[in-house]
Amino acid sequence: MSYLRPPTDDVLGQHLLDIILRRQLHALFQPIVHMQSGEIIAYEGLIRGPSDSPLHSPLNLFRVARANNLSREVEYLCRRIVLERFAELQLPGKLFLNVSPESLVRQHDGSQGETLGYIHEFGLNPANVIIELTENQPTYDYERMREAVLHYRNMGFQIAIDDLGEGFSSLRLWSELRPEFVKIDMHFIQGIDHDPVKLQFVRSIQEIADKSNTLVIAEGIEKAAELLVLRDLGIAYGQGYHLGRPHLQPARALPAEVVKVLGRRGVAVYPQRAAERNAVSIRKLLHDVGAVPPSMNNNDVYEIFMAEPRLMIIPVVDAGRPLGLVSRFEMIDHFARPYQRELYGKKPCTLFMDAKPIIADVDTSLQDLSCRMAESDAHHLFNGFIITENGSYIGMGTGHDLMREITQMQINAARYANPLTQLPGNVPINEHIDRLLESGTRFWVCYVDLDHFKPFNDVYGYRRGDDVIQLTGHILAKHGDRNRDFVGHIGGDDFVILFQSEDWEQRCHAVLDDFAIAIADFYSNEDRERGGYISEDRQGKKVFYSLMSLSLGVIRVEPQQYYSHHQIAASAADAKKQAKKIHGNSLFLDRRMQTQGA
């Protein structure tokens, strides 16, 4: 490598050149795990600079490489070191090899075959190497990318896209390249066990993957709770510190405690979003994007794109009336072809314009716009849509923003969350019961009801009654295991807990104890001292009512014992009726079904 010369006097550039000449990079490997079996199916090869160097981090390493025009040399050296070390360690499974899109295209065009040469040199099989495309800058030339990917597939490689949801154009890359694997960026994975928006995003990605025969890898898993949610969503593979850190000598099997968690029967508790009281308007999607007249030529539009790297779409508007959209990708694609700029540069921009964009009035509902998007060609999702007011152009909306708002609406829809307690309502309750039944695990259903709640409302008022409902919801949530036990609000003063915790009975007694102490504060001193109050019953007669209490009716659900949430609701309601026959705070476990099944 004597042809290398430092292009600048920069100290870090000199240091990088020395690292390349001395091959002072080393490879780490992080396991990629099958989410159902817990088997390590592959490793991602990662690179590090010298431990005592400012270029130890790969971010710094490649930043300095780009600044000194050494990206090609650094990337090829990284690739060689990772492949060589993987072969030396004789690690099981496949290798995910990081490759930049520009390097992939450049190598294909040059027909040099360095990667394939390395693989043959180290005795590896291309079928066991997945080219993982990592995006450091926008990709515009998708035609060349498709050709390069086809070239490598023909040699036996598979393709993966890294950091889905984070990169410049990762969704379009997925659509264009149809990779065998996609990796979801860790931002959407970390905290997924308590963030319903992230849950819905990952669920949507999995649905797309199912239809496109793509396998999903979740990156950045750091907690057991995240792992279980992802497993239940059907994500194929996982990667992250909880499963194994990058290491010079990586483990060949998962830690026993992680295998135990993955093998645990039951289901994860999905996070639920609190109900929103205000509807989202399409105006929330409005972005101020400058328009151009139809008389502007293509050269001028191209210069606008070049001056604003983040601008993806330019609307074409004539006297306030929207005519169409010019796409950055389409413009660059046309001008990249031979003689296209010379032929069409001075022609009107309407030549390359999408003349049939989606146009929506500012008062259009999100649901209607979403339906129009779903029924339209896929490119509209990337191009976005024009927003008008009284027929005149006022701005643009993006497909990404629309997806985000629709996602929020879906998880916040009516019947999904109680606005008073913010606990999940009937739909998510029934969905969770169905998931439990499908999993074939044992669980317990605890139907919770307040005793003497209506007369309390009559005497103390509905606002005070609402406070009691909120207190009850808080106590129930406090004593459930948030990762295993589902607490829902059926409506009114009725609640349900779906226990997977084996110590459910202890938790129920803790609920009753806390409620007995807390409820006394809601009464006057006089009513507390005499243990109740006088109110009218439904027939209008004066009746003495004791202080409110909780009745807990519990049924145990064994595998194959019930087949629907309707059956379970009926049995739990019967158990609750038996609990209400007991005076004061009570816990009743219905043992009849257990006896029948014995």
Provide the pLDDT confidence category of residue 140 given band limits of 50, 70 and 90. Answer: low
Q: pLDDT digit string (tens) for 150-194? A: 988 998 999 999 877 665 467 788 888 899 999 999 999 999 999
Could you list the beta-strand ranges (E) of 116-245.
129-133, 158-164, 181-184, 215-218, 237-238
Averaged pLDDT for residues 355-361: 92
Q: What is the pLDDT of residue 279?
A: 52
Answer yes or no: is pLDDT of 597 > 50: no
CA–CA separation, 18 and 10 (whole Å): 13
Q: What is the pLDDT of residue 116?
A: 84
Q: pLDDT digit string (tens) for 445-488? A: 999 999 999 999 889 998 999 999 999 999 999 999 999 999 99
Answer yes or no: is pLDDT of 328 > 50: yes
What percent of the chain clears pLDDT 70, i.e. is strictly above it?
Answer: 91
Q: What is the pLDDT of residue 595?
A: 46
Whether 274 contacts 253, CB under 8 Å: no
Pure H helices in 280-365: 298-307, 328-335, 340-344
Q: What is the pLDDT of residue 338?
A: 87
Domains of the chain in sequence order = 22-254 (3.20.20.450), 282-408 (3.10.580.10), 426-597 (3.30.70.270)
Whether 490 contacts 496, CB under 8 Å: yes
Averaged pLDDT for residues 502-531: 95
Answer yes or no: is pLDDT of 127 > 90: yes
Residues 6 or more apart whose CB falls under 8 angstroms from that of 526 comprise none
Could you list the beta-strand ranges (E) of 23-120.
26-34, 40-48, 94-99
Answer yes or no: is pLDDT of 98 > 90: yes
Averaged pLDDT for residues 386-408: 86
Q: What is the pLDDT of residue 540?
A: 78
Using alpha carbons, list the distances in angstroms from residue 184 to 163, 211, 213.
5, 17, 16
What the block records as the tokens of 212 is 């496109």
Range with the poorest average pLDDT among 135-139, 246-250, 288-292, 373-377: 135-139
Q: pLDDT digit string (tens) for 235-257? A: 999 999 999 999 999 999 999 99
Q: Which residue has the higher pLDDT, 560 or 376?
A: 560
What percent of the chain clears pLDDT 90, i.e. is strictly above it?
Answer: 62
Q: What is the pLDDT of residue 596?
A: 46
Provide the pLDDT confidence category of residue 31 given band limits of 50, 70 and 90. Answer: very high
CA–CA separation, 495 and 579 (whole Å): 14
Provide the pLDDT confidence category of residue 524 given band limits of 50, 70 and 90. Answer: very high
Averaged pLDDT for residues 569-573: 95
**Given the DSSP bridges, would you call strands 532-536 and 542-546 parallel, antiparallel or unpaired?**
antiparallel
Each residue of 40-79: b (16+ CB within 10 Å) or e? Answer: bbbbbbbbbbeeebebeebeebbebbeebebbebbbbbbb
Instruction: State the average pLDDT for the chain.
Output: 88
